[in-house]
């Protein structure tokens, strides 16, 4: 019988050492290259970059290797400790992305792997958008991916197995949306098999639920918003048949915002 441990965020604290194993199938290079291409097309020429909810820093590694001066921000210090080992050249701050500040203005802010949903609810999501807006220079870009709440299939789980130090792991993750309201969750499980012993951790992470249109409306007072298909190989406008999208948001100039009666 497996021993099951239920927790709210073991993956980013006690189990942070297994995070990279869980994400072994993710093509971080393709994601980072895609954002660099978007930044070349829509952004300014600057290279000051911040990755929100940076985790163990895989995107930061790729962006630093391509000439960006990157910083990482995350709520959980165990994740930041690993990011620092991966990217000693970058600086890291432990803050909540729903109300963060930076010392000097940035050209590019990213938030990958749907982590913007960790904002938890709409009020906090507004805080995240406002913080990103004030941390950017005019013309700077905020890029992230979003899952559309009305297209979540509660039965769909992504599974993958891996071996590490003689132990077998099975990872699974899936979204759950109750059908209305502004909250969804990310369900994650990690099973570790070692001989006869099986340990299973089950995490349930509270996330904010939004539609693409709601997200666009929250951003549009402050940013020019571009929505793309979730395909890291091609930059194509969102066709709305997929439940995932990539948002690229370009900060409007201070004069334009003042004209709309909004503070810069
Ligand atoms: C799914 S991981 C993504 C990590 C990394 N971006 C990647 O693509 O591998 C989500 C990360 O969000 C962080 N996180 C959760 N809530 C947060 C918050 N309110 N502010 C900042 N980071 C947060 C977690 O600690 C975790 O490292």
Structure confidence by residue, pLDDT tens digits, 120-150: 999 999 999 999 999 999 999 999 999 999 9
> Distance between CA 86 and CA 263 in Å, rounded?
38
Q: Which fold has domain 24-149+209-259?
A: Rossmann fold (3.40.50)
Is 262's pLDDT higher than 60? no
Residue with the bigger pLDDT between 99 and 18: it is 99
pLDDT at 186: 96
pLDDT at 15: 84
Band of pLDDT at residue 1, cut at 50, 70 and 90: low
Residue minimizing CA distance to atom 15 of ligand 1: 118
Band of pLDDT at residue 241, cut at 50, 70 and 90: confident
CATH homologous superfamily of domain 3-21+151-207? Answer: CAC2371-like domains (2.20.130.10)
> Distance between CA 197 and CA 221 in Å, rounded?
54
Pick the atom of ligand 1 nearest to 113's CA.
8
Of 17-21, 148-152, 205-209, 212-216, give the lowest mean pLDDT range.
17-21
List the chain domain ranges. 3-21+151-207, 24-149+209-259
Pick the atom of ligand 1 nearest to 76's CA.
25
For a substitution probing ligand 1, which of 50, 53, 110, 117 has the most ligand atoms within 8 Å of its CB? Answer: 53
> Distance between CA 133 and CA 252 in Å, rounded?
9
Residue minimizing CA distance to atom 4 of ligand 1: 55
CA angle 106, 216, 76 (to 5 degrees): 50
Residue minimizing CA distance to atom 12 of ligand 1: 53
> Distance between CA 85 and CA 57 in Å, rounded?
9
pLDDT at 263: 52
> Averaged over 205-226, what is the pLDDT?
97
CB burial readout 53-89, b (16+ within 10 A) else e = bbbbbbbbbbbbeeebbbbbbbbeebbbebbbebbee
Residue with the bigger pLDDT between 192 and 80: it is 80
pLDDT at 50: 98
Pick the atom of ligand 1 nearest to 51's CA.
6
Structure confidence by residue, pLDDT tens digits, 62-120: 999 999 999 999 999 999 999 999 999 999 999 999 999 999 999 999 999 999 999 99
Pick the atom of ligand 1 nearest to 111's CA.
6
* Residues contacting ligand 1 via CB (< 6 Å): 12, 23, 53-55, 58, 74-76, 79, 96-98, 112-113, 115, 118
Percentage of the chain exceeding pLDDT 90: 81
pLDDT at 253: 76
Residue with the bigger pLDDT between 91 and 167: it is 91
3-state helix, strand, coil in the chain (%, to 5): 30, 35, 30
244-251 and 223-229 strand pairing: antiparallel
Give the mean pLDDT of the chain: 93
């Amino acid at each position: 019988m497996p021993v099951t441990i239920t927790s709210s965020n073991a993956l980013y604290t006690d189990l942070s050492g297994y995070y990279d194993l869980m994400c072994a199938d993710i093509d971080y290079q393709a994601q980072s290259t895609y954002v660099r291409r978007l930044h070349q097309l829509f952004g300014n020429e600057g290279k000051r970059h911040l990755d929100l909810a940076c985790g163990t820093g895989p995107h930061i590694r790729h962006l630093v290797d391509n000439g960006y001066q990157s910083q990482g921000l995350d709520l959980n210090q165990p994740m930041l400790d690993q990011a620092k080992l991966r990217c000693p050249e970058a600086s890291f701050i432990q803050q909540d992305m729903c109300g963060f500040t930076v010392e000097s203005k940035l050209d590019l802010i990213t938030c990958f792997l749907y982590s913007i949903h960790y904002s938890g609810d709409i009020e906090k999501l507004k805080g995240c958008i406002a913080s990103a807006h004030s941390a950017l220079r005019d013309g700077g870009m905020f890029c992230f991916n979003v899952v559309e709440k009305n297209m979540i299939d509660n039965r769909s789980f992504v599974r993958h197995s891996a071996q590490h130090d003689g132990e077998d792991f099975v990872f699974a993750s899936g979204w759950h949306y109750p059908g209305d309201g502004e909250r969804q969750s990310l369900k994650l499980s990690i099973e570790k098999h070692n001989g006869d012993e099986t340990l299973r951790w089950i995490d349930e992470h509270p996330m904010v639920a939004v539609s693409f249109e709601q997200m666009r409306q929250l951003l549009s007072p402050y940013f020019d918003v571009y929505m793309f298909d979730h395909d890291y190989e091609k930059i194509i406008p969102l066709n709305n048949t997929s439940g995932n999208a990539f948002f690229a948001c370009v900060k409007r100039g201070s004069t334009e915002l003042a004209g709309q009666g909004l503070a810069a």
